[in-house]
C-alpha cells in the first residue's frame, strides 16, 4: 500500500480512503447509535487508526449523534439526522446535521461540567466531551436552520496535529 | 442494555451489558439500585465489563445512581471498565467521583469483604 499524499513517504492513516466522502441519514432513534458505532469501528480498523484517536473519534461521533437525536429532534423518528464522513491523508472530518430548533451555544460553553457545580449534574457533557477529545469542533446552530457539528481528528504527526485523549 | 443482578455476601452487584446510552436504560438501572437499597444493601457494584460504550447520557445514569446510593448512606463503585469507558471517565473527571476497580475480587475486597462462615471453615 502506498502513500496517500504524505510528503514523508509514510503511509498516512487514512490513505485507504483519502479523498473519499460519503453521507447517510437515519431516523432519530437512539438504537441507531449502535449501527453508527459499528461503522466508525470499521473505519478505525480499515484506516489502522491508533487506539486513543480511535476512541476519541468513536466517542465524539456518538456524542454528536446523541445530541441530534435527543436535543435536535426530541427522539422523533420521523425526523432524520445526517452524518457525513470526509477522508483526507491526514484527517477525518465528520459532520452531523439535524433540523431541530438549535440551542444557545454560549450558554452551553460557559458551564464547566468538570467543576464543583457541574460534575454531579446528570446532563450537559456532550459538547465538552467532543471539544476535549477532538482536534477541531465547530457548531452552527439556530432556528429554523438546525444544528451542524463539524468534528475533525488529525491522524498523523506534524503541523496541525492536535492532542489526543 | 441488559442488567443481571447477583450478590456476593453483603455486596450487591449489577452486571450491565450492551451500551449505556439513555432512554429506558435509566429506569432499568435506577429501579435495580433502589431495589437493592430497599433490601438493605449498603455496598453496591456496577460491573461494566460487558458494556462496550457509554455516551454522555449514560454517564448521567451512572451519576444519578451514585447520588441515589450516596443519599441513602451507601456506597457505589465501578468495576471492569473498558479502555473506552475509562477514557470518557477521565475526560469528564468522573474518575474523581467513582472508585473504579479492574476486577471483581479487588472491588469486593475494597469494601472490606467479610468472609462467610463457609469460607472461614476452608481457610
Alpha carbon distance A44, A62 (integer Å): 14
A161 three-class SS: coil
Mean per-residue pLDDT pooled into runs of 10, chain A (165 residues): 40 76 96 96 94 97 96 96 96 96 82 91 93 96 89 73 43
ipTM: 0.87
Q: Is residue A5 part of a domain?
A: no
Q: Is residue A12 part of a domain?
A: no
* A92 contacts A155 by C-beta, under 8 angstroms: yes
> Most distant CA pair in chain B: distance in Å?
47
Domain CATH code at residue B69: 3.30.750.24
Question: Chain B residues with CB inside 8 Å of A165's CB?
Answer: 87, 90-91
* Owning domain of residue B39: 2-122
Alpha carbon distance A30, B1 (integer Å): 12
Instruction: Give me the residues of A, 8-47, that contact B with CB < 8 A.
Output: 30, 33-34, 37
Question: Into how many domains does chain A fold?
Answer: 1
A7 three-class SS: coil
* Owning domain of residue A59: 21-154
Chain-centre distance for alpha carbon B22? 16
* A77 contacts A29 by C-beta, under 8 angstroms: yes
Domain CATH code at residue A37: 3.30.565.10
* Mean pLDDT, residues B66-71 taken together: 97
Question: Into how many domains does chain B fold?
Answer: 1
A60 three-class SS: helix
Q: Are strands A21-27 and B100-101 parallel, antiparallel or unpaired?
A: unpaired
Q: Is residue A108 part of a domain?
A: yes
CB contact (8 A) between residue B92 and residue A129: yes
Q: Which residue in this structure is represented by grid cell 437515519?
A: A26
Amino acid at each position: 500500500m502506498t502513500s496517500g499524499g504524505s510528503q514523508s513517504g509514510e503511509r498516512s492513516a487514512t490513505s485507504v480512503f483519502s479523498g473519499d466522502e460519503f453521507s447517510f441519514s437515519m431516523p432519530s432513534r437512539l438504537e441507531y447509535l449502535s449501527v453508527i458505532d459499528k461503522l466508525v469501528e470499521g473505519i478505525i480498523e480499515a484506516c489502522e487508526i491508533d487506539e486513543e484517536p480511535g476512541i476519541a473519534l468513536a466517542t465524539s461521533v456518538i456524542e454528536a449523534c446523541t445530541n441530534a437525536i435527543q436535543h435536535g429532534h426530541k427522539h422523533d423518528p420521523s425526523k432524520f439526522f445526517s452524518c457525513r464522513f470526509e477522508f483526507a491523508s491526514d484527517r477525518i472530518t465528520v459532520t452531523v446535521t439535524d433540523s431541530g430548533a438549535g440551542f444557545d451555544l454560549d450558554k452551553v460553553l460557559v458551564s464547566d461540567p468538570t467543576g464543583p457545580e457541574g460534575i454531579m449534574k446528570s446532563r450537559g457533557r456532550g459538547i465538552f466531551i467532543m471539544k476535549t477529545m477532538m482536534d477541531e469542533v465547530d457548531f452552527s446552530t439556530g432556528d429554523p436552520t438546525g444544528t451542524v457539528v463539524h468534528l475533525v481528528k488529525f491522524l498523523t504527526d506534524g503541523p496541525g496535529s492536535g492532542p489526543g485523549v | 442494555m441488559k442488567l443481571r443482578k447477583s450478590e456476593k455476601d453483603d455486596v450487591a452487584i449489577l452486571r450491565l451489558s450492551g451500551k449505556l446510552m439513555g432512554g429506558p436504560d435509566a429506569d432499568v438501572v435506577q429501579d435495580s439500585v433502589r431495589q437493592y437499597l430497599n433490601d438493605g444493601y449498603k455496598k453496591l457494584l456496577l460491573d461494566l465489563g460487558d458494556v462496550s460504550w457509554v455516551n454522555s447520557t449514560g454517564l448521567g445514569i451512572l451519576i444519578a445512581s451514585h447520588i441515589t446510593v450516596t443519599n441513602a448512606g451507601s456506597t457505589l463503585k465501578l468495576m471492569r471498565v473498558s479502555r473506552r469507558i475509562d477514557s470518557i471517565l477521565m475526560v469528564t473527571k468522573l474518575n474523581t467521583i467513582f472508585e473504579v476497580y479492574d476486577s471483581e475480587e479487588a472491588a469486593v475486597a475494597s469494601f472490606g469483604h467479610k468472609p462467610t462462615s463457609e469460607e472461614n471453615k476452608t481457610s
